[in-house]
A and B are shown apart, each in its own frame.
Chain A
Amino acid sequence: MAEGIRIENLVKTYGSGDTAVHALRGVDMSVAKGEVVGLIGPSGSGKSTLLKCLGAVIEPTSGRMTIGDTVIYDDGWKVNDLRALRRDLIGFIFQAPYLIPFLDVTDNVALLPMLAGKSNTQARKEARDLLEALDVAHRAAAMPSQLSGGEQQRVSIARALVNRPPVILADEPTAPLDSVRALAVVDLLNTMAKQFETAIIVVTHDEKIIPTFRRLYNIRDGVTVEERASAPSGG
């Protein structure tokens, strides 16, 4: 499978000197397009820090990071416009859906293609197609506050997918959901990963979904350990 995202020996140290916190001490990780991997670890192990580095919102201290063939970071940013990088190459799914409350469902999703310069008509068409695929098209005209938690999460997945990014970062996407819905979301992520050829990294504490990952990284004291190299069942 084609490579989605790869990080090598990624280090992140907060602060310096006596007060320095070594959050990441040399993380290696690689996720192929079409693949969903889990990232687990105890509190304070560096999961959020890793996600922020991958999401290009904080700068790593050293290491190397590539998305596809593009070098993003190599002991320094290799891309000038991090905002455009996030907009075009990375999709985000959060624990809370974080939809924009003053935009309806369609425009919440269409906003990203619009930001990327597409016409409103084109952006809305792409948004509606995705909402269709995620089975929330019937709520396209609703405001986020009128949706159920599961519907909101599906809309936020549509938003993460709409610009067809090679990488999606999901931060505890199933935390607020019951186990049926949580498993449904993981299924959905797997389907979407294949359909849109996206590498998806899911940070989670959620015992309900941990067993479903074919590959699982466990991060401890700032170092990743690949716990599961193959599918738990049938794969």
Chain B
Amino acid sequence: MISLAGRDILHGWGKFVLTGVGLGLLIGVTLSMAGVYRGMIDDAQALLDNSGADLWVVQKDTLGPYAEPSSLNQDTERPIRAMAGVDRAAGVTYLTMQIAHEGKDVRVMVVGAEVAEPGEPGQPPHLIAGRRIVQGHYEAVADVKTGFAIGDEVMVRRNTYRIVGLTSRMVSSGGDPMLFLSLKDAQEAQFEKDSDAIVRQRARTASSPVLNPPGNPAVAEAVNAAQASSTNVNAVLVTVVPGADAEEVAATIRRWQRVTVYTRAQMEEILVEKMIANSARQIGMFLVILAIVSAAIVAFIIYSMTIAKIREIAVLKLIGTRNRTIAGMILQQALGLGLIGFAVGKIAATFWAPFFPKYVLLLPADSVRGFVAVMAICALASLLAIQAALKVDPAEAIGG
């Protein structure tokens, strides 16, 4: 037996292939949407992995530092470091901001990490070029996605920083590339007031008899210095000694400090289930709509291809073709359309993924799921046409 579906497709392949390509672009969009979602999860995981922390110590009762603002005194880290099971503890700051660079605004997450010695939590774990920050001031390490190069000078607030090293895949949970500064520099950038505010603050200090007691100018100076500098951090990242149970160490910290402590698993839950959940639902909606649109397209094209063949189908039935054979022909055509569509979609999604501003992660498992879904949708969409074909009366071939 020959393949009636295949012959029909070959006979009118132009229309068929064009429809398949159109469907394929739609499938490509669908795969990319799934890829964007996977990318978001991967970004979140990269953020947690690259922070190098086992525990996140944040302001009491907040979901900080990524999902909510959190502010802690930097001094919190010292007693933590002394606790049993704690290997290292280091304050970090996170601040998302726009940086002007070569006439363009680049959105980055400025990360302040302690630079005194290598390997402190919060520092970028590996560099793809250059070196780590060694001077306390005015050096920065940037993620390649910022577009910065080694030797570039970038302005953060009022100071200029020289890029000394590059990292990759260091992004915020929102996908913004990171710019690492020393903790002190970052604190200055984050908590520093602008000049006007400082002038006004100084004037208020000077006019207060309590803060500026007559005959003792040293008091006002000390107050000004205390007000200008900040020793706050957004979180203290903690690593535990090998073999120690992170959960137990977290419990110890909670007992002694007025802070909230998250383990890696809890942090992942906050990022993935709280922050990404909405985007995931959004993407889920898109996937549903795209699936419906694809189904409608396949159904329409297969239906119209079948209606155009009604007389041939009547003749086929008259000369003894089984319903099974005719239904099979239509089903095969729908699946063929799905096959072309999926191939085109997969190629398109792979091709355009790098051009997306956000990280698009195309998982093979998602492709398999997508393929199964496309085939199921096509099979479903062919039912309408099959029903129409089965209703055709072989007597129509004889006519009146």
In the complex where A48-B400, A58-B395 touch, is A107 in contact with B2 (Cβ < 8 A)?
A: yes
In the complex where A48-B399, A57-B394, A171-B398 touch, is A83 in contact with B320 (Cβ < 8 A)?
A: yes
User: Who on chain B is nearest to A119 by CB?
Assistant: B1
Please, what's the 1-or-0 string for A81-122, where 1 marks a CB less than 8 Å from any CB in chain B? 001101110001011001011110001001110111000100
CB distance from A83 to the nearest CB of B (A): 5
CA–CA, A189 to B218, complex, Å?
A: 125
Residue A166 interfacial (CB < 8 Å):
no
Query: Which residues of the partner chain A approach B4 to less than 8 Å between Cβ atoms?
Result: 102-103
Mark out the residues of chain A between 18 and 62 whose CB falls within 8 Å of any chain B CB in the assembled complex. 48, 51-52, 55, 57-58
Residue B152 interfacial (CB < 8 Å):
no
Residue B319 interfacial (CB < 8 Å):
yes
User: A114 near B399 (CB under 8 angstroms)?
Assistant: no
User: A102 near B320 (CB under 8 angstroms)?
Assistant: no
Please, what's the 1-or-0 string for B366-400, where 1 marks a CB less than 8 Å from any CB in chain A? 00000000000000000000000000011101111
Query: Which residues of the partner chain B approach A64 to less than 8 Å between Cβ atoms?
Result: none
Interface of B is mostly: helix
Residue B193 interfacial (CB < 8 Å):
no
Query: Which residues of the partner chain A approach B11 to less than 8 Å between Cβ atoms?
Result: 101-102, 143
User: A112 near B319 (CB under 8 angstroms)?
Assistant: yes
User: A57 near B395 (CB under 8 angstroms)?
Assistant: yes
CA–CA, A37 to B281, complex, Å?
A: 73
Residue A215 interfacial (CB < 8 Å):
no
CA–CA, A86 to B397, complex, Å?
A: 13
Residue A154 interfacial (CB < 8 Å):
no
Residue B254 interfacial (CB < 8 Å):
no
Query: Which residues of the partner chain B approach A83 to less than 8 Å between Cβ atoms?
Result: 317, 320-322
Residue B150 interfacial (CB < 8 Å):
no
User: A115 near B320 (CB under 8 angstroms)?
Assistant: yes
User: A95 near B317 (CB under 8 angstroms)?
Assistant: no
User: B397 near A98 (CB under 8 angstroms)?
Assistant: yes
In the complex where A83-B322, A102-B10, A102-B11 touch, is A52 in contact with B317 (Cβ < 8 A)?
A: no
Residue B137 interfacial (CB < 8 Å):
no
CA–CA, A111 to B311, complex, Å?
A: 16
User: Who on chain A is nearest to B308 by CB?
Assistant: A101
In the complex where A83-B320, A84-B320 touch, is A52 in contact with B2 (Cβ < 8 A)?
A: no
CB distance from A31 to the nearest CB of B (A): 18
User: B8, B311, B319: which contacts A115 (Cβ < 8 A)?
Assistant: B319
In the complex where A86-B318, A98-B311 touch, is A57 in contact with B10 (Cβ < 8 A)?
A: no
User: Who on chain B is nearest to A43 by CB?
Assistant: B400
Query: Which residues of the partner chain A approach B316 to less than 8 Å between Cβ atoms?
Result: 100
User: Who on chain A is nearest to B314 by CB?
Assistant: A98
User: B320 near A57 (CB under 8 angstroms)?
Assistant: no
Name which of A84, A100, A159 has the most chain B CB atoms within 10 A of its CB: A100
Number of A-B contacts (CB under 8 A): 77
User: B1 near A120 (CB under 8 angstroms)?
Assistant: yes
User: A100 near B398 (CB under 8 angstroms)?
Assistant: no
CA–CA, A84 to B317, complex, Å?
A: 10
Query: Which residues of the partner chain B approach A88 to less than 8 Å between Cβ atoms?
Result: 320
- Report, as a range, how many residues of chain A touch the other chain: 20 to 34
User: A87 near B320 (CB under 8 angstroms)?
Assistant: yes
CA–CA, A102 to B7, complex, Å?
A: 6
User: Who on chain B is nearest to A49 by CB?
Assistant: B400
CA–CA, A111 to B394, complex, Å?
A: 17
User: B10, B319, B321, B322: which contacts A92 (Cβ < 8 A)?
Assistant: B319
CA–CA, A100 to B317, complex, Å?
A: 12
CA–CA, A56 to B394, complex, Å?
A: 10
In the complex where A83-B320, A87-B319 touch, is A114 in contact with B1 (Cβ < 8 A)?
A: yes
User: B393 near A171 (CB under 8 angstroms)?
Assistant: no
Please, what's the 1-or-0 string for B1-15, where 1 marks a CB less than 8 Å from any CB in chain A? 110100110111000
CB distance from B327 to the nearest CB of A (A): 14
CA–CA, A159 to B318, complex, Å?
A: 12
Name which of B10, B311, B315, B316 has the most chain A CB atoms within 10 A of its CB: B315
Residue B312 interfacial (CB < 8 Å):
yes
Name which of B2, B10, B322 has the most chain A CB atoms within 10 A of its CB: B2
CA–CA, A116 to B315, complex, Å?
A: 16
Mark out the residues of chain B between 1 and 44 whose CB falls within 8 Å of any chain A CB in the assembled complex. 1-2, 4, 7-8, 10-12
User: B393 near A111 (CB under 8 angstroms)?
Assistant: no
User: A57, A92, A100: which contacts B393 (Cβ < 8 A)?
Assistant: A57
In the complex where A52-B395, A94-B397 touch, is A101 in contact with B312 (Cβ < 8 A)?
A: yes
CA–CA, A87 to B322, complex, Å?
A: 10
CA–CA, A88 to B321, complex, Å?
A: 11
Known A58-B395, A87-B320, A116-B320; further 14 A-B contacts with Cβ < 8 A: A48-B398, A52-B398, A55-B398, A57-B398, A86-B319, A92-B318, A92-B398, A98-B315, A102-B8, A107-B2, A110-B2, A111-B319, A115-B321, A120-B2
6 sample A-B contacts, Cβ–Cβ < 8 Å, listed by A number:
A48-B399, A51-B398, A55-B398, A83-B322, A107-B2, A120-B2
Interfacial residues, chain B to chain A (CB-CB below 8 A): 1-2, 4, 7-8, 10-12, 311-312, 315-322, 325, 393-395, 397-400
Closest 6 CB pairs of A and B: A87-B320, A102-B11, A57-B395, A102-B8, A102-B7, A98-B315
